[in-house]
Structure 1
Amino acid sequence: MGLKAISSVLLVAFAAADGGSCQKTETPPEVTKDHPEVTLEGVDTSSLTTRERKEWSGYVTKFQAPCANVGTVAQCVTDKKTCAGCAPAAKFLLKSVRDGQTDEQIEKSYKNRFEAGKVREVKIDDSPSKGPENAIVTLVEWADFECPHCGMMEPILAKAFSDHKAEARFVFKFMPLGGHPHGEISARAGFAASKQGKFWDMHDKMFRNQTHLEESDLLGYAKELGLDIGKFTTDMKGNEAADRIARDKKLADELGVKGTPTIYINGRLFEAGANPDQALTDWMNLEVILVKGGGAAPAVTTSGAPGLLPTAAVSAPASASATTAPSVKPTATASASAKPSAAPAGSSKPK
């Protein structure tokens, strides 16, 4: 199934989950009242209607910029402050208005994307990963191999990683859900394959064969991958696999993860929305811009449990201390299968 078809399926699922038609509520008067239209260098508002430009002008003069002590988004761009996130923030708000989001949705998504307090520490530990350890963008996914929404998200994630191979690291966390009878055994199979350096190969096979995850199927995939079947079986059924899964679930609980797939990107919960492939592309591209523009890349601890630590905010005047920032720790959300089954989080929740 192509990405376009997958997006269509997810969109239908999201619409069904949210119940009923899509309607934009009226923008509160305070957003547009007494706010003349704003023009910002480098931000093209020609795609907006007159009403939308007024709404957007209200937001950029209302929301604080993604760096401390530089004022609102509009002030930051107009005064050419040395904050890499200001112009992207203005464009982010423009797209939100153009997409017909409500005032509540716009404020929530803006804070989730740019506010420093929304960045969480996401421990990597010894979870399966691919990509450079010093990557400037770290994507962490909680998934269940039997979760249909995870299956639909998998090629979207694969493409995003492929497009950013030199800059991104992809980390997998096991989260088998009780509503999926083969979730636990397939997670164990993934762990067992990782013990022989074949996690991602097994990962791909299981997602391509989500309706064939009996133990006999998993052993067949292991044979196809040339694994030592005796070791694979022992590792699959051993306590180490159970411990790995339990640790991933514990971290998920600490972060408030409710379903699968749930994705954190540099510590921020990724919001998939109704068009997850485009949303992920936009998020990854913006993250690269923000980090390269002055934010520090996430660091991995070398003592205790390895994890992604909070680092500096995007560049701002030397006198400024960060209060808001782009992601700096290693985000639906794509949360689609909840306990027992849900939908890409952040905005939509198909069942």
Structure 2
Amino acid sequence: MRLRHLVSLLILLIFPILPSQGHAKVEWSIYRTLNLDAQPLDVAVSVNGRWIFVLTEQSDILIFLDGNLEDRIKVGNHIDQIEVGPREELLLLKSRQNKTIQVLALEFIKDINIIESPFKGPVDAPVVIAIFSDFQCEYCKALLPLLDQVADLYPDKIKIVFKNFPLKMHKLASKAAIAALAANSYDLFWQYHDRLFDSQGQLSDQKFLDIAAQLGINQKDFEREMGNPQILSIIQKDLQDGQKAGVRSVPSVFINGRMLKERSLKGFQTVIDKELNKKESAH
């Protein structure tokens, strides 16, 4: 098959295709230029095009995100080809000399913006758990008891931050997010948050007002706050933050920027303890 492709390419080079009567053309422009400090040997690009990996003659793999150099990894000088795996966090390192393929697991640390986001726990907690969630998502609701367990285990060590990521398939998710942030202006976000999830199957415009009334919020004041354009701005920012962090589904949990892969008590403990140990080692 490879030989056939090479032969086809040679034919095209020797007998170039004549332009059609319609004078079809391809418009092009240089999308991005990466400045390197060594000659490139191979390049691999993630499916979404955001991550670019460059293998250099100095046996470094340069890791670019959206055109910016994020990090570099030193590999053996026997590595002569690289390829992105089925998931962008897997990189295949190929060596023709050693006749090997190594699977390199990458862990991307995301910078999650938590300014203006509701949180509970110490302001200066060493571990920040950011959760992208949707009030109509049953899996997000199922995560709550586990989060309570984690909070009980690390009362002074973690801060839990709520990030809105309402899915388009959930018709009332955006309105629920607006209502919860309106309650946040009365310092009642988490109480409202809990009642929204408790009423997940009965959400409606009236239910949003009823929950506010149960928490002692004046209806007219609450409706006025729901119309605050700053709330929509916060939700839009949360959505953008989630997209930048690679959120594809909810709930998505990040612990100090690391996406949590195992949503279990053990999974939380493993990552939290690792982060706490890093903090202690740094002092």
Q: Same fold (TM over 0.5)?
A: yes
Letter in 1 for 2:235: I
Structure-2 residue corresponding to 1:207: 197
Structure-2 residue corresponding to 1:306: none
| Aligned with 2:223 (options 225, 233, 258) | 233
Structure-1 residue corresponding to 2:213: 223
Letter in 2 for 1:287: E
Letter in 1 for 2:187: G
- Contact 1:160/1:284 (8 A) holds in 2: no
Query: Number of aligned pairs?
Result: 185
Separation of aligned partners in 2, 1:237 and 1:180: 20
| Aligned with 2:280 (options 292, 295, 302) | 292
Letter in 2 for 1:285: D
**Residue 158 of structure 1, CA deviation:** 2.1
**Residue 285 of structure 1, CA deviation:** 2.6
Aligned to 2:201, the other structure's residue is in SS state coil
Please say if 1:245 is aligned against 2:235: yes
- Contact 1:130/1:169 (8 A) holds in 2: yes
Structure showing the higher strand proportion among its residues: 2
Quote the sequence identity (%): 26
Structure-2 residue corresponding to 1:164: 154
CA distances 1:131-169 after superposition (whole Å, capped 9, x unpaired): 112110011111001001101112111221222120111
Structure-2 residue corresponding to 1:184: 174
Who wins on radius of gyration, i.e. which is larger?
A: 2
Separation of aligned partners in 2, 1:208 and 1:282: 29
Structure-2 residue corresponding to 1:16: none
**Residue 223 of structure 1, CA deviation:** 1.0
Letter in 2 for 1:253: Q
**Residue 252 of structure 1, CA deviation:** 1.2
Separation of aligned partners in 1, 2:195 and 2:271: 27
Structure showing the higher helix proportion among its residues: 1
Letter in 2 for 1:292: E
Q: What are structure 2's unaligned runs of at least 5 residues?
A: 1-101
Q: What are structure 1's unaligned runs of at least 5 residues?
A: 1-102, 113-117, 296-351
**Residue 287 of structure 1, CA deviation:** 2.1
Structure-2 residue corresponding to 1:278: 266
Aligned to 1:200, the other structure's residue is in SS state helix
**Residue 282 of structure 1, CA deviation:** 2.4
CA RMSD of aligned residues (A): 2.3
Aligned to 2:128, the other structure's residue is in SS state strand
CA distances 1:41-77 after superposition (whole Å, capped 9, x unpaired): xxxxxxxxxxxxxxxxxxxxxxxxxxxxxxxxxxxxx
Separation of aligned partners in 2, 1:247 and 1:231: 24
Using CA pairs under 8 Å that are at least 6 residues apart, name the structure with larger relative contact order, 1 or 2: 1
Superposed, 1:37-52 pairs within 5 Å as: none
**Residue 283 of structure 1, CA deviation:** 2.0
Please say if 1:135 is aligned against 2:134: no
**Which consecutive segments of 4 or more residues in structure 1 shift more than 6 A?**
none
Separation of aligned partners in 2, 1:200 and 1:142: 15
Letter in 2 for 1:131: G
Structure-2 residue corresponding to 1:195: 185
Q: TM-score normalized by structure 2?
A: 0.61
